[in-house]
């Protein structure tokens, strides 16, 4: 048993989207692995501009997926197999684009397709500019997802990638880890 979490409950799918805070998704993967969880990683094409599959694979010790269309003959539908037996799906960071796609049922890449196929609890950690965060479309998308049971970690106030300061900064990985542990142990 791991901090009140049964050992059989230990598979997490971690999605990383294209944000300047993508490196914090890798940091969260490291923290989760230290807790004893098995982490499968999915990186969007935009996230590959900030981090590499190799970085995440080194931290998780597992293959990382970035394409909806796999060349692996044994797994022709990774968006289904990756979500088959997970206990938690975390998207860190979750951009406004990913949040919008998720709220509207769009599935044009591996991560958004996996989200639609997922039956496990979902945590999204938003990361975006303050103006994007305050936009009424973003607010409507967040409300839609919250009504469907998606939980949110942040965002928080602080310095943003554009040089300004405000709401929209990705919550620190330690805070996201705490929420993950709470969800997995049934405390949330």
Structural domains of the chain ordered from first start:
11-181 (3.40.50.1950)
> What's the pLDDT at 9?
52
- Which residue of the set 58, 147, 162, 180 is catalytic? 162
- Look-up: residue for tokens 């542990």? 181
Q: Is 58 a catalytic residue?
A: no
> What's the pLDDT at 110?
87
Please choose, from the candidates 115, 104, 141, 148, the residue with its C-alpha nearest in 3D space to the C-alpha of residue 44.
115
As given in the structure block, the two tokens for residue 3 are 């901090």
Residue 140: C-alpha distances to residues 15, 96, 102 (Å) = 22, 11, 12
The answer to pTM > 0.85 is: yes
- Look-up: residue for tokens 């406004």? 96
Distant-in-sequence, close-in-space partners of 100: CB < 8 Å, separation ≥ 6: 106, 137, 138, 141
For each of the chain's 188 residues, which pLDDT tens digit applies? 455 555 455 899 999 999 999 999 999 999 999 999 999 999 999 999 999 999 999 999 998 887 666 666 666 666 667 878 899 999 999 999 999 999 999 999 989 999 999 999 999 999 999 888 999 999 999 999 999 999 999 998 887 787 788 788 899 999 999 999 999 887 66
């Amino acid at each position: 048993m791991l901090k009140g979490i049964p050992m059989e409950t230990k598979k997490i799918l971690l999605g990383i989207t294209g944000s300047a805070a993508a490196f914090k998704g890798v940091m969260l993967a490291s923290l989760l692995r230290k807790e004893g969880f098995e982490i499968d990683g999915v990186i969007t094409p935009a996230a590959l501009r900030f981090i590499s599959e190799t970085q995440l694979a080194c931290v998780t010790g597992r293959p990382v997926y970035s394409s909806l269309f796999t060349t692996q003959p044994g797994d022709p539908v990774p968006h289904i197999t990756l979500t088959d037996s997970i206990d938690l799906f975390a998207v860190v960071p979750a951009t406004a684009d990913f949040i919008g796609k998720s709220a509207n049922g769009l599935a044009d890449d591996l991560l958004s397709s996996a989200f639609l196929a997922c039956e496990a609890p979902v945590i999204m950690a938003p990361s975006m500019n303050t103006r994007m965060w305050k936009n009424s479309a973003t607010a409507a998308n967040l409300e839609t997802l919250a009504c469907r049971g998606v939980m949110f970690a942040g965002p928080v106030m602080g310095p943003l990638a554009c040089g300004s300061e405000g709401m929209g900064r990705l919550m620190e990985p330690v805070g996201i880890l705490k929420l993950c542990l709470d969800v997995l142990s049934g405390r949330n």
